[in-house]
Amino acid sequence: MKVKQLLADGRTASMVMVSWPHPSLIEHLGALGFDLAMIDCEKGGATVERIEEMCRAGRAAGIATLVRPWTPDPGLISRYLDLGADGVMVAGVETPQAARAIVEAVRYARWKDHAEKLVIAMIESPEAIARLPELLAVEGVDVWFIGPNDLAHRMGMPGQASRPEVRAAVAGALHAIHAAGRIGGTLTTGGDALALQSAGARLLLCRASELLADGAKHYRAQLATTDTTS
C-alpha cells in the first residue's frame, strides 16, 4: 500500500475528512494529490452503498480510503473492508486489549490481504495517553492518532481543543509516539500543520470543509481588496 510505504519512509501522509460523503469529492481530492480520504461514519451519515462508491472512486483516483466506524464492532470493520476500504480508523481506543481486538478484526476479515490494510487507533483521553507505553507495544497498529477534540472534552474543556493545555497534551503524546519509533497522527486546524509535524506527527488530517473555508476566505479577501482599490 502506497501510504504504508510513505510512512515507512518517514514521510508525512495527508488525509482529508471528506465532510460531504460523495464519490466526486474523493475523486477530486485524489486529483489534488492527497494521500488518504477519511469517510466518517462515527459522526457522518454515509450509507453502505455510498461508502462502496466512494471506495471505488478512491481506487480510480489513486487515493486511499479509510472508514471511521461508530463502534469498534468486528462485524462493522469487516463490512467496511469488504466494501473496499483500504483501512479503518477506530475512535476512543483506551486499552491494549481494545487495540489488539481491532488488529484481530482486520486480520480475520481480510485474511489474505490484511497486510495491505491501514489500521489507525485513535487516542482521545488523558487515560489513554497515560497508557501509551503499553498501547504502543501492540503490533499491527499502523498509526496512533490523537483526537484533540475528544481529548479536550475528556480534559474537561469541551470545544476548546486550541487551549494550551490540550495542545501540550497532543504534542507530548506525539513526541512519545515518535520517540518509541511508532507513527503518530492528529488533526490539523487553523494552520498548525507544521508545528504538529515538528512535534512528530506523520499523518495529518484536515477537514475538506476547512480547506473550502480557507479558499473562500482568501478569495473574498481578494474581492474586498479589489473593491477598495477600484
Which residues would be at the binding site for ligand 3PY (CB under 6 A)? 124, 147-150, 187, 205
Q: Is 72 in the site for Mg ion (CB under 5 A)?
A: no
Q: Is 40 in the site for Mg ion (CB under 5 A)?
A: no
Task: Return the one option of ligand 3PY, Mg ion, none that residue 200 interacts with (CB less than 5 to 8 A, by type).
Answer: none
Q: Grid coordinates in use for 171?
A: 504534542
Q: Which residues contact 204 (CB under 8 A, 6 or more apart)?
A: 12, 13, 14, 15, 185, 186, 187, 188, 193, 196, 197
CA distance linking residue 152 with residue 166, whole number of Å: 6
Q: Is 148 in the site for Mg ion (CB under 5 A)?
A: no
Are 65 and 84 in contact, with CB atoms under 8 Å apart?
yes
Question: In terms of CB distance, is 81 or 145 closer to ligand 3PY?
Answer: 145
Task: Return the one option of ligand 3PY, Mg ion, none that residue 187 interacts with (CB less than 5 to 8 A, by type).
Answer: ligand 3PY
Q: How far is the CB of 84 from Mg ion (least distance, A)?
A: 24
Point out which span in 59-67, 74-82, 148-156, 209-217 binds Mg ion (CB under 5 A). Answer: 148-156
Q: Grid coordinates in use for 70?
A: 461508530
Question: In terms of CB distance, is 181 or 191 closer to ligand 3PY?
Answer: 191
Q: Is 150 in the site for Mg ion (CB under 5 A)?
A: yes
Question: In terms of CB distance, is 38 or 54 closer to ligand 3PY?
Answer: 38
Cβ atoms within 10 Å, residue 70: 12
Q: How far is the CB of 150 from Mg ion (least distance, A)?
A: 4
Are 30 and 56 in contact, with CB atoms under 8 Å apart?
no
Point out which span in 5-13, 139-147, 157-165, 179-187 binds Mg ion (CB under 5 A). Answer: 139-147
- The 3-state DSSP class for residue 213 equals helix
Q: Helix, strand, coil proportions of the chain in percent (round to 5)?
A: 50, 15, 30
**Residues at the interface with Mg ion (CB under 5 A):** 147, 150
